[in-house]
Amino acid sequence: MIFSRASSVARRHAVTMAPRSFSARSALPAAMADRLCKYIDALDDRSEPVVRLMNADEVRSKFNEAGISMSLLGNQAAQSQDALMEATELLLRYSVRTGHPFFFNQLYARADPVSIAADWCSVATNTNCHTYEVAPVYTIMEREVLAKIASLIGGDYTGTHDGLFVPGGSLSNLYGMHLARNRADPEILTRGAVGGPQLVAFTSDQSHYSYLKNARLTGIGSNNLIAIESDEFGRLSPEKLEAAVLQAKAEGKRPFFVGSTSGSTVLGAYDQLTEIADICKRHDMWQHVDSCWGGSVLCSEKYKHNMAGAHLVDSIAWNPHKMMGTTLQCSAFITRHANVLESTNGTQAAYLFQPDKLNRELDSGDKTIQCGRKTDMFKLWLQWKAKGDAGMAASVDHCFAIAEHMANKIRTDTTGAWKLAYEPSCTNVCFWYVPEKLRPFNGMAATQAERDEINKVAPLIKNEMQRQGDAMIGFQAVNGRPNFFRIVFASCDIVSLDDVDGLMERIARIGDEQYAALLA
Ligand SMILES: *Cc1c(COP(=O)(O)O)cnc(C)c1O
């Protein structure tokens, strides 16, 4: 009786509350899915531009011309499905095709199609994974994916670990520093970041800038984040680290955290984790590894030696959304210390984590510094199931094979056109293209005037390639080296050795043309 009254109330609401265009709007997902499947299939097309370069006014005017302005100000009329699809069409057309085989700009690239499908499922179920009661399946999957990652790390991680999927690597690194800070100074949670020991953290000068942001956020302060000069490969030097730790101790400070890196953002350098673990043990410091970029080697028997000693560290950050091509964002934080997340971050909010409800012990929400959280684990879980361990390893190995092919071509070049700016450690290849007029170029042995000229070349090539919609590749200057290209091979299953050869020919042609035009 009560039940039927309730459902008739629901029916009445459904009738009176539904806006007129409701049925048209619910047809949109099907139209969108169909369009996006075509978009994904067309990503292989090398004749499509990677980018249709436009400034902000040009983008706005494309939308105006199509009759659907960017602005949401003023009185907005309800738009038809056709208009919504037209806006989507423009978005697809003028967004950078990060799934294009020639998108080498960042540490992420083409999204794995299985993870795209999983991501669609995540948003269709619209699940917040803070509690088991609303996210039973995702919660179990998160534990399983973390257990798999732990098994690849090995050591104590296989037995006990704790972890979370968090919104990006910078946040993963924040978790590492935050747990370390709480361990070194537990009272800071109540007392605040004043009047306690002067905590000091260490990292290399090649580490990700999130360590700096996180030192500010956690109240450590940027003055207490010591950047240790890196070695010739861009690695944290253990000797210099220990000297800095001893000096901080002599000054009465409390060294508490070392932020090591496996696969640095620019150079791809892998710090020596075992040597650093020894130092951390001697001086009672928490060792975190930022393997956001380079952590994918854990999937490969051939390359996991780069992270030897990972099982010794206290916590690890890994972004499958980079080399593995899991859709953005997918970032894992894992620590070998059981229950440390909840004991540090838990507030036992009475309205979410009721102690007397079913399955309370499976809630992940009180481990986080957020409240709600996306279900990013499913994208990696489904991708892993689809590829298997061998497929995951093959994708990593292919990125390395392509990078090695390019580095070898540069090493063996006899024309003076190419020069490595650094020996590659990961799948970042850092190189100079040297226009004919600037040869020979001797890298760091060159005069300042020669380096100043080389400094102009990468931006010239980059700009022209963007104008043409050709490959996107990043460049920068590091440690006195003038601007060099950093091409990154991430999630590059569809990139072939021929693609690399063709790309190098185009870089050379554009480089000579653009530099000649600059001189003219
Ligand atoms: C990309 C990257 C990060 C940051 O990851 P986000 O997900 O972009 O926040 C941190 N560390 C390294 C080494 C990275 O390459």
pLDDT of residue 26: 79
Closest CA to 179 of 339, 9, 411, 308: 339
Residues 21-60: tens digit of each pLDDT: 555 557 999 999 999 999 999 999 999 999 999 999 999 9
Q: Are strands 481-488 and 428-433 parallel, antiparallel or unpaired?
A: antiparallel
pLDDT of residue 353: 87
Ligand 1 centroid distance, CA of 168 (Å): 7
Q: Is 32 exposed, middle or buried (0-12, 13-18, 19+ CB in 10 A)?
A: middle
The whole-angstrom distance between residue 21's C-alpha and the CA centroid of its chain comes to 39
| 3 state SS of 69 | coil
For residues 516 and 258, what is the distance between their CA atoms, to the nearest angstrom?
A: 47
For residues 460 and 441, what is the distance between their CA atoms, to the nearest angstrom?
A: 17
Residue of 98, 261, 290, 330 best suited for mutating to test ligand 1, as the one with most atoms within 8 Å of CB: 290
For residues 261 and 234, what is the distance between their CA atoms, to the nearest angstrom?
A: 10
pLDDT of residue 351: 85
Total H helices, total E strands in the chain: 16, 12
Closest CA to 287 of 296, 271, 276, 275: 276
Question: If you write DSSP's letter for every residue of 381-450 in order, what string do you get?
Answer: HHHHHHHHHHHHHHHHHHHHHHHHHHHHHHHT--SS-EEESS--SSSEEEEEE--GGG-S--GGGS-HHH
Ligand 1 centroid distance, CA of 177 (Å): 15
In which residue ranges of the chain is pLDDT below 70? 1-25
Ligand 1 centroid distance, CA of 84 (Å): 34
Index of the ligand 1 atom closest to the CA of residue 319: 7
Angle between helices 497-519 and 377-411 in degrees, nearest 10: 60
Ligand 1 centroid distance, CA of 173 (Å): 9
Closest CA to 266 of 292, 289, 244, 288: 292
Residue of 262, 293, 297 best suited for mutating to test ligand 1, as the one with most atoms within 8 Å of CB: 293
Residues 413-430: tens digit of each pLDDT: 999 999 999 999 999 999
Q: Residue 506: which residues within 8 A CB-CB, separation 6 or more?
A: 465, 470, 471
Q: Are strands 315-318 and 331-335 parallel, antiparallel or unpaired?
A: antiparallel
Give the 3-state secondary structure of 312-372: HCCEEEECCCCCCCCCCCCEEEEECCCCHHHHHHCCCCCCCCCCCCCCHHHCCHHHCCCCC
DSSP conformational letter for 162: E
Ligand 1 centroid distance, CA of 334 (Å): 15
pTM exceeds cut of 0.85: yes
Residue of 106, 319, 329 best suited for mutating to test ligand 1, as the one with most atoms within 8 Å of CB: 319
pLDDT of residue 2: 46
Indicate the helix (H) or strand (E) that contains 483.
strand 481-488
Give the 3-state secondary structure of 203-257: EECCCCCHHHHHHHHCCCCHHHEEEECECCCCCECHHHHHHHHHHHHHCCCEEEE
Total residue length of the chain: 520
Give the CA distances from residue 332 to residues 162, 290, 428, in Å, rounded to whole numbers and listed in that order: 11, 11, 22
